[in-house]
Structures are given as C-alpha cells and as structure tokens.
Amino acid sequence: MTDKTEKELFLETQKAAKQGDVEAKYNLGYMYFAGYGVEQNRPTAVKWWLEAAEHGNHAIAQHSLGVAYDRGYGVPQDQERALKWWLSSAEQGYADAQYAVGYAYINGLGVKQDDTLAVKWYSKAAEQGFAAAQYGLGRMYFEGRGVKQDAAQAVKLWSLAAEQGYDDAQVTLGNAYVKGSGVKIDYDKAVKWWLKSAEQGNVKSQFLVGTSFVTGMGVEQNYAQAAVWWSLAAEQGHPSAQYGLGTLYADGLGVPQDNQKARNWWVAAAEQGHVEAQEALFLEAQDDAMKGIDGAQHTLGLMYYRGQGVEKDDVQAVAWWHKAAAQGHVEAQLCLGGCYAMGQGVAQDNVEAAKWFRKAAEQGHDQGQYNLGLMYISGLGVPQDPSQALAWLNKAAAQNNVDARFFVNKLSNPSRPDYEPDQGKESDLRYN
C-alpha cells in the first residue's frame, strides 16, 4: 500500500465533505487553512468549518471558528462571535474552547469581564488536564480572583501544568519554591523547574537559571554555566541578562575578559532602559572622558543630557560637549550648537550656535550644514543671506537630507504659492 500524497488526501477529503461527512468538512476546512494539498484559503476554510459547526455540531470546528473570529482569520475580527462559537464548543466539553471562554471572561473580550465565570470555565478545562487552564486557574487562586485566595491550591495546579511541560507554569512554580508561596522554600526544586522551562526556551527561566549559577542558589556556583544561560536569554532581548552577561565579560568570569563585548551587552540593555547598564556605561564613559578621549566626552555629554545612568544635567552635558567639540568631534559640535540655539545648559546665544554649526558643517556633517543654512535664512547669529543659505542647504541636500531638500525647493522657487519668506526659524533646527 503506497502513501497518499497531500493532493490525493485533499481530493478524498473534499469528496467526502461534499457528500455531507461532518468530520470531512472540518478536515477540509483545516486543509484550506493550512494550505495542505491545496492553496491556502482562509475564507474557504471558515466556510467549511461553518458547515461542520452548524450542521454537524462539530465541537472542534466551532472552536476553530472562534479562533478565526478572534484573530480575523478569513473573516472580519469579531470577538463577540468568537465567544459565541467558543461557548457552543465549550458546552460540548471541548477543553480548548473551555479555556478560551475562561480567557475571554478574565480579559473582557467580547463580553463583560467576570472573574467568577472565568474560574468556572478554567476549572472545566483544568479538570480535563488542559495545561494552560491549570496554569491560568492557578493564577486565579494565587491572586484570589473569582475564588478565595489559596496559594497552596495555586501551587497544586501549577504543578499539574508543569508536569505536562507547560513552561510558564514551570517558571512560576520555581518562583513559588524560592519565595515559599504556598509551599516550603526549596531552592533545589526552584532551579529544577526553572531548568525545565529554560530548556524550552523560556527567557525568564534562562535568566533565573543563569542568576542561580552566579549566586550558587540551588546549584554549585559556576560562572561558565551562568554565561551560557544568560547568553541564551540575552540573545532573546532580556535586559537584565544582557547586563549580567556584560558584567561577566567585563570581569572575565566564566568567559574570556572582553571589554568590547561587555560594552555591547551593556548598550543593548541600556537601550531598553536598564538602569544598572546605563550606570555602567556612564562610569565607563566618565573614565575615558577624563582621559581626554573625545568620543567618550561626547557620549558622557549625551548621557547627562538624556539622564541615562546619571541625573539629567544640561550644564554638565554642555561642559563635556565643549571638551569634545574643541577636539573636533563633529557630533559634539552639532549638539553644542543646538544647546546655544535653544538655551539649554547655557545662555541662549545664536552667534555661538552658528559658530558650532559652522564647524560641524565644514566637516561635512549634513545636519550642521542644514542648521547653518537655516540660520542664514533667518539671520540668526549670522547676517541674513539667502545665497549662503542656499549654498549650505544644497550641500546638506546632496547628502540626502530631506529637510534640506524641502528648503532648497522653497528658496529656488520663491514664486510658489506655499513659499513663506520667514521660514527657517529656530524651531526648524535639528541637532540631536
């Protein structure tokens, strides 16, 4: 007996569905949905599921229709219709639908939010061993939502879900063992569950396992293993793992010492708002800035200006940008010009602003050229001079500066009805 091809199975299912076979109607809908043996067509998938749901009371087809309406697969998104179909399926005992109904009630999707009804439907699905429902119901017991608060019952439910490999339950169960919530504190068991979750790619667990290897909680301290787990979490964008991994590289713990890798990971964490990473970068920049490194001086100015790793201080920002700008750092010159133009951290002074924008412009910085051009348009800090304005704006426009192109068109076509001779105000300046 030879195996049938996808196309043959599709044609066989299609024939049975057209002859009224309810199971075949559901399966045909799935084939259209997944593109199995036929080109994917979600509206047609919904059509066949509707046939099975309405004429055959097919619970799985009803649940699938609910998913389609919930997510807008092949039909306009409609959460009320989604709930209608999920309820039809749930009342037949289909656990996936029971969980979906509970989720809808707890989040108020297509229905008024109701914790009590959420517990009811989560309980029905949980009794059938549906892991997500066991986990969700555990959360309800832990938080006392729709049911009397009971941390021990929450742990029992999380354990059931965790034993089935549900990773969110595994990490939550590990947390319970660390905090002694509904169970005795047991660090070994905590790490055991975090590991199971981490091995499934759960980023929170990967970070926690890495942290355990650093602190020696529940496992023997091992910086190399910490680096392995923090690397996995860091690659998934976990900011605390990125900061921790950077620290391991900075100190050479478990990995070869590498300042550049340390900085790269700190930057990744800092960009997500991680305060300790921002502080680490600040201290690094401060150290290099004190050595007279212009790039570090500019970076330190930015950190003072933005309040990253240190309290925001425009005066300090200007001071460090002055040091970097004096060494020819073009970005610092641009920022310094902007501060003088706007009076941030220093007395407002258009002459000084124009001076620093010119220095940046003469180094070929398109934004410096653009800003200097605007100052010549308006006569801010320099004599008003349309020809000089056009010259500098053309230089910026040649570097694909969109704002400069706009003003070049304006100056080149003063007869245009939308031309306004007073354009080129301070509010049009761009500097950081």
pLDDT at 87 over 80: yes
Give the mean pLDDT of 119-135: 98
pLDDT value, residue 428: 52
pLDDT at 423 over 50: no
Percent of the chain with pLDDT over 90: 90
Contact status, residue 85 vs residue 69, Cβ threshold 8 Å: yes
Contact status, residue 247 vs residue 216, Cβ threshold 8 Å: no
Strand segments, DSSP code E, in 71-131 are none
- Greatest alpha-carbon pair distance for the chain in Å reads 92
Predicted TM-score (pTM) of this structure: 0.77
407: confidence class by pLDDT, cuts 50, 70, 90: confident
Vertex 412: Cα angle to 411 and 415 (nearest 5): 85
Residues 372 and 296 in one domain: no
Query: How far apart, in Å, are the Cα atoms of 111 and each of 52, 115, 194?
Result: 25, 12, 35
Q: Please indicate, yes or no, if residue 425 is contained in any of the structural domains.
A: yes
Q: Please indicate, yes or no, if residue 352 is contained in any of the structural domains.
A: yes
Q: Please indicate, yes or no, if residue 358 is contained in any of the structural domains.
A: yes
Residues 419 and 348 in one domain: yes
What is the residue whose two structure tokens read 């504190």? 185
pLDDT at 3 over 90: no
pLDDT value, residue 107: 96
Q: Please indicate, yes or no, if residue 309 is contained in any of the structural domains.
A: yes
Q: Please indicate, yes or no, if residue 407 is contained in any of the structural domains.
A: yes
Q: How far apart are CA 207 and CA 210, in angstroms?
A: 5
Q: Please indicate, yes or no, if residue 187 is contained in any of the structural domains.
A: no
Range of the domain at 319: 278-327
Going by C-alpha positions, the residue among 171, 165, 163, 166 that lies closest to residue 229 is: 171
Q: How far apart are CA 76 and CA 83, in angstroms?
A: 14
429: confidence class by pLDDT, cuts 50, 70, 90: low
Q: Please indicate, yes or no, if residue 427 is contained in any of the structural domains.
A: yes
pLDDT at 430 over 60: no
Going by C-alpha positions, the residue among 112, 103, 165, 104 that lies closest to residue 139 is: 103
CATH code for the domain in which residue 388 is found: 1.25.40.10
Q: Please indicate, yes or no, if residue 284 is contained in any of the structural domains.
A: yes
Q: What is the pLDDT of residues 29-57, one digit of tens each?
A: 999 999 999 999 999 999 999 999 998 79
187 burial via Cβ count (<10 Å: 0-12, 13-18, 19+): middle
pLDDT value, residue 328: 95
pLDDT value, residue 431: 53
pLDDT value, residue 426: 47
Residues 364 and 429 in one domain: yes
pLDDT value, residue 424: 44
